[in-house]
Amino acid sequence: MVRMFVLGTLLVAFAVVAPPPAAVAQGRTAMHDLVPAPVSVRPAPGAFALRPGTAIASDDAGVAAYLAGVLRPATGYRLPIRREGAISLRLKGAPAHVGREGYQLDVTPRSVTIKARTAAGLFNGVQTLRQLLPASVESTTVRPGPWRVPAGRVVDHPRFAYRGAMLDVARHFHPVDTVKRYIDRIALYKINHLHLHLSDDQGWRIAIDTWPRLASYGGSTQVGGGPGGHYTKTDYREIVAHAARRHITIVPEIDVPGHTNAALASYPELNCDGVAPPLYTGTRVGFSSLCTSKEITYTFVRDVLAELAALTPGPYLHLGGDEADATSDADFAAFLNRAHPMAVSLGKTVVGWHQIAAPAVRHSPGRVLQYWGLSGSDPQVAEAVSGGAKVIMSPANKTYLDMKYDPTTRLGTTWASLIEVRTAYDWDPGAHLTGVPESAVLGVEAPLWTETIVTEDDLEYMAFPRLPAVAELGWSPRSAHDWEGFRERLAAQGPRWETLGIGFHRSPQVSWPG
Ligand code: ACM
């Protein structure tokens, strides 16, 4: 037993051997069917069977309620929550090395035990337990079972602290329920941040009381000229709370000083010439800029960030900073050198697209650059890292979920690359950028821009199966990286997505069961 922890990374080799697709099609799972691949998996003989009266006992009421909520609809079982139970979730007894988000899961024919050091760790263990149950457990209506969990031990913890997805709700607005379902989907793959791109040229999507026309007018359209929309503060709090119950932190982005046409159209005084441009429903980039020489611009930024910070329990405010082509380099730096300290003074850590690595932009404490470039080298990013910046890896030619899979993909664009599943998977976030060592990489994020993405079905088609690929890069140890093993484990997820109603891309690179 003890040796197993010492040899944890060697045991990863076992984790990447998937059962034959026939077993998956018959609804059986094996300890190896997991995405992302755990640090170590040791199968044992036998299985635990869920029964109507199986009790759940937990040191964290929220995770117990979540687990019962996942299991009850398909099983139809009561699954009472009690002080003691055959399923127990405990905040003590986990090995120290699982850290803040890791867990140990032990399954025997008599019990299921998850031990972790935090509720987030228990929650991650619950996602593993969920994937060890048959795919039909994802059904919203009662299914026959049997509900067996293969026996064994999983000991697991993430490689990177930040594992993110991004939704662009500015180019096309996506309603609260869609965002909540996306949160439910990403939780299954142990993603722990959802970045919401809340403003862009085509729309402003969050109510700001001190500048009400941002949402009421700036949010009134979208790409192609549809009705747009925005989140009220109540809506937004609902999203934040839904995410928090899934141990996901919302990272709100207000993109400045470029990508600001919706704000400029709403308030003429934010324009250098005092004239509001019309609302914009096209897809060009790089044409708009806040007027960096006007004092009212800084009042605006301060007001918006203060209201956003008050809505945001998480540590980060994302201030964009990309494609500010209509702002001179000097104005860009002068503007960010005032805007970033505003976020810091609100108690938040600044995140920005990697253009904020421009040398004249001063470092702020804990600053995070989100790298979306196409190259494996960016001297400005490397320089900012040597000055203390951390990096979220979102290379557009690997992680942008709006890129087409292949030339026939109905949705999406191609400017960064075609991205089939293997391209999304086969790279190393810890060694991608010269001069950015793994220790400076906070994690990975898969952004989904929505110029061409209109419906929830569109979102899901582009996210699956590439989002789980990026999630695995964020969670699993480097030593577990193995395309052949990944494609087999991914295949085992297909029936789960079918049950969840996710219309995923049936990549020809994967042998889907059934
Ligand atoms: C970006 O794709 N403009 C961050």
107: which strand partners?
112, 152
Same domain assignment for residues 142 and 230: no
- Please give the radius of gyration of the chain, using alpha carbons only, rounded to the nearest integer: 23
Residue 485 pLDDT class (50, 70, 90 cuts):
very high
Per-residue confidence (pLDDT) for residue 18, from 0 to 100: 43
Q: Which residue numbers are catalytic? A: 323
Q: How far apart (Å, rounded) are the C-alpha atoms in residues 184 and 50?
A: 23
Q: How far apart (Å, rounded) are the C-alpha atoms in residues 504 and 466?
A: 10
Q: How many domains does the chain have?
A: 2
353 lines ligand 1 (CB under 6 A): yes
86 occurs within a structural domain:
yes
Q: Nearest residue CA, atom 1 of ligand 1?
A: 322
The letter for the amino acid at 201 is D
Provide the token pair at 206: 């969050």
Same domain assignment for residues 107 and 240: no
For helices 456-463 and 466-475, angle between their N-to-C axes, nearest 10 degrees: 50
372 lines ligand 1 (CB under 6 A): yes
Residue that finishes a domain, picked among 156, 184, 205: 156
Which of 67, 178, 179, 21 is closest to 513 using CA atoms? 21
Q: What's the mean pLDDT in 262-272? A: 98
Between 5-9, 78-82, 231-235, 262-266, the lowest mean confidence (pLDDT) is in 5-9
Residue 153 pLDDT class (50, 70, 90 cuts):
very high
Per-residue confidence (pLDDT) for residue 418, from 0 to 100: 98
> Would you give the DSSP letter of residue 301?
H
Q: How far apart (Å, rounded) are the C-alpha atoms in residues 119 and 248?
A: 12
Q: Give the distance (Å) from ligand 1 centre to CA of residue 372.
A: 6
22 occurs within a structural domain:
no
Per-residue model confidence as pLDDT tens digits over 184-232: 999 999 999 999 999 999 999 999 999 999 999 999 999 999 999 999 9
303 lines ligand 1 (CB under 6 A): no
- Determine the structural domain holding residue 62 and report its residue range: 40-156
414 occurs within a structural domain:
yes
Average pLDDT of the chain is 94
173 occurs within a structural domain:
yes
Same domain assignment for residues 76 and 196: no
Per-residue confidence (pLDDT) for residue 15, from 0 to 100: 39
Per-residue confidence (pLDDT) for residue 23, from 0 to 100: 54
Same domain assignment for residues 300 and 284: yes
- 3 state DSSP class of 22: helix
Residue that finishes a domain, picked among 140, 156, 172: 156
Q: How far apart (Å, rounded) are the C-alpha atoms in residues 7 and 2?
A: 9
223 occurs within a structural domain:
yes
Provide the token pair at 416: 């960064």
Q: Report the CATH number that the domain containing residue 358 is assigned in CATH.
A: 3.20.20.80
- 3 state DSSP class of 306: helix
35 occurs within a structural domain:
no
Same domain assignment for residues 92 and 184: no
413: which strand partners?
403
Same domain assignment for residues 138 and 169: no
Asked if 374 and 396 count as a contact pair (C-beta separation under 8 A), the reply is yes
Same domain assignment for residues 195 and 93: no
Per-residue confidence (pLDDT) for residue 379, from 0 to 100: 98
Same domain assignment for residues 140 and 174: no
Given the CA of residue 259, which atom of ligand 1 is nearest to it?
3
Which residue's entry shows tokens 């196409």? 374
pLDDT at 6 exceeding the cut of 80: no
**Which DSSP string do the residues of 330-390 spell out, in sequence order?**
HHHHHHHHHHHHHHHHTT-EEEEEGGGG-TTSPP-TT-EEEE--SSS--HHHHHHHHTT-E
400 lines ligand 1 (CB under 6 A): no
27 occurs within a structural domain:
no
Which residue's entry shows tokens 């094996």? 30
Same domain assignment for residues 146 and 171: no
pLDDT at 5 exceeding the cut of 50: no
pLDDT at 271 exceeding the cut of 80: yes
Q: How far apart (Å, rounded) are the C-alpha atoms in residues 48 and 51?
A: 10
The predicted model scores a pTM of 0.95
Q: How far apart (Å, rounded) are the C-alpha atoms in residues 180 and 197?
A: 15
Same domain assignment for residues 92 and 134: yes
Provide the token pair at 314: 């998480």
Q: Nearest residue CA, atom 2 of ligand 1?
A: 372
Which H, E and C letters describe 431-443, residue by residue?
HCCCCCCHHHEEE
Q: Give the distance (Å) from ligand 1 centre to CA of residue 148.
A: 44
34 occurs within a structural domain:
no
Given the CA of residue 353, which atom of ligand 1 is nearest to it?
4
Asked if 353 and 394 count as a contact pair (C-beta separation under 8 A), the reply is no
Q: Report the CATH number that the domain containing residue 95 is assigned in CATH.
A: 3.30.379.10
Residue that finishes a domain, picked among 156, 171, 193: 156
123 lines ligand 1 (CB under 6 A): no
Same domain assignment for residues 387 and 475: yes
Q: What's the mean pLDDT in 79-96? A: 98
Residue 423 pLDDT class (50, 70, 90 cuts):
very high
Sign of the CA dihedral with 49 first, then 52, 53, and 55 last: positive
Provide the token pair at 82: 């009690």
Per-residue confidence (pLDDT) for residue 28, from 0 to 100: 61
E strand map for 438-477:
441-448
Given the CA of residue 320, which atom of ligand 1 is nearest to it?
4
Per-residue model confidence as pLDDT tens digits over 7-44: 333 333 333 344 444 455 455 677 888 999 999 999 99
Contacts 24+ apart (CB under 8 A), 381-385: 381/354, 381/357, 381/433, 381/435, 381/436, 382/433, 382/434, 382/435, 382/436, 383/357, 383/359, 383/435, 384/357, 385/435, 385/436, 385/437, 385/440
User: Which residues, including other chains, have CB under 8 Å from residue 14's CB and lie 6 or more apart?
Assistant: 32, 41, 42, 43
For a mutational test of ligand 1's pocket, the pick from 318, 371, 372, 401, i.e. the residue with the most ligand atoms closer than 8 A to its C-beta, is 372
Residue 251 pLDDT class (50, 70, 90 cuts):
very high
Same domain assignment for residues 174 and 303: yes
Which residue's entry shows tokens 């979220």? 392
